[in-house]
Structure formats: C-alpha cells, structure tokens
Amino acid sequence: MNGFINLNKPVNWTSHDCVAKVRKILRTKKVGHGGTLDPAATGVLPIAVGKATRLLQYLPGDKAYLGTIRFGVQTTTDDLEGDVIASQSCGDLSLSQIESLIGNFIGDIRQIPPSYSAIQVDGKRLYELARKGEIVEVPGRNVQVFTIDILDWRSGEYPELDIHISCGAGTYIRAIARDLGYACGQVATLAKLQRTVSSGFHLADSITLEDLQTQVDAGNFQPLPADFPLQYLPSIHLDPDFAIKWCHGQKIPYETQTEGLLRVYEKHDFLGIARVEAGLLIPKMVFV
C-alpha cells in the first residue's frame, strides 16, 4: 500500500499520535506525516504510507488556517496550552486598530518562533529546552504570509479576532498572534487553530481516523495516489526504453529551457522525481 491520506487531525492529538494510530489501523510500519500540527490544533495533516513516505520532502509548502486570537492573555506557549504569564483587560482595543496593523504581517516577514516549538538549536528541540527551564535565544526566520482576512471581531475585556491566513512553510500562527498583540500595545495568544489546506490537501476532502477505520474494516480503503500532492511539478513521459534506463539510475538526455524538478511517468505509471540539469534528466527519487 503506497500513497497519501488526507487526515483531519483531532484536537489533543499530536501528529506522532496520528501516525501511530494509522500504523495500527493499516497494520503497516511505514507511515509518516507532512507538516506538524500542534496538539491543540485540528485540520489537515497529510499522511504518507509505504513508499510515499519518500515523497514527503517534495510536498509543496502552501498552507492555510482558520484561527482565533485572544487579546489580553499571554502564555508560555503562545496558545492556550501553556501557562498564563500575563493577563490584562483590553476593553479599549478596537477592530479599526487591528485593521490598521494587520498589513504589517503580510508578505515576506521576519518572525521569532515560539519557545515551545520543534525548531532545533544546537541539535535540541526548543520545546525540550523550554520544558527543562533552559532559556535560549530563539533564532528568527523569514516566512511568507500571502493573505490575512479578518472574519469576525468580538469586543470585550478579552476580545477575540477570527482570521483566515494563507502562508508558506514554516510560518507559526502562534507567533503572528503574539506579535499582533505586541503591535497593538497589548498581549495576545492563539486561542484556536484549524488547518484548512496543507501541501495541496484540503479540509473539505479530509477523513477522520474513525472514517479510516470504517473504510479499512469494510475493505474499501484506498490511499490517494502517491503523485497526488505533486501536481505543482511539471511532468514528463518517457518511452519504455528510456524509462527502464532512468529507473536504473541512468541520466537521460533531455533538452528544455528550464531546470528543476519534474514528475516522471511511463504512460500513466508514476516512476518518480527527476531533476533537469545541463540537458540531463537526473533521477532524484525512483518510486517504482
């Protein structure tokens, strides 16, 4: 069994928990995920099965989220999973103030990931260091935020803002919530998060772990094709003789005006991923 599952991750499950559950349901060890989701978050978690795990590194980085930011509260983790370290009334904060500042978080921006994150510093995860009480300088990173749409605003002592964000890989929505609070002269934290898009997988087409179990029990489960999330890459179809050579690791002459990664096929069969360089089709990952 080789392919992908568009999983709708439940709340309070880690991404690793989901992988372990899928392994148990499918009775196979070769399972991996693309794009970690925090335990408190829900939504799209791409799951690779079998040889498709080798394709995880080639998934596109596009992502989209529905989130709720709560102002007046600051936590150790920048979401409601952490301990509250500051609380202050924000009753005077207005939507117009938010609207005047939100544009600063769109485009190529620099952000500092939360202290509780999977970023590695000197070979150790930040969340591991944070749990030990070790204070380290968290390196900033450049990320891309394509759009931020304001969906709803609920005023009050601890007002909440509902937003839709589309962004590139590596963007921390928790950091946007935290920094938007600072920009307003307040503190803020992420109160809720749902991922609606990840690497070409959409929430509307996702399945739950219960759905997966039901399909497997009924004998009608089929993973999505291994090349499903790779449609952003151009494709090439090889003749049988060239296909055999390429699958054996040989470089094939290929003239084109562009260089980069390609999906490789023989007729309708997905063979893997190649890189075009200096007029050659070089095997990067042979799937068959």
Q: How many CA atoms lie within 13 A of 141 on its CB side?
A: 16
Cβ contacts of residue 44 below 8 Å, gap of 6+?
Answer: 6, 7, 8, 9, 195, 196, 197, 198, 201, 202, 203, 206
Q: Is 38 a catalytic residue?
A: yes
Instruction: Give all strands (DSSP E) within the chain, no chain letters.
Output: 3-9, 31-33, 42-49, 63-71, 73-75, 84-87, 107-111, 120-121, 124-125, 141-154, 160-167, 188-198, 201-202, 235-237, 252-253, 260-266, 269-277, 280-286
With beta carbons less than 8 A apart as the criterion, state whether 240 and 214 touch.
no
Question: Rounded to the nearest 5°, which phi and psi values hold at 285?
Answer: -150, 105
CB neighbours (10 Å) of residue 9?
Answer: 25
Best CA proximity match to 201, nearest among 47, 13, 11: 47
Question: Residue 285: CB partners within 8 Å, gap ≥ 6?
Answer: 54, 55, 58, 272, 273
CB 101 within 8 A of CB 184: yes
Catalytic residue among 38, 78, 179, 227, which? 38
Residues recognised as catalytic: 38
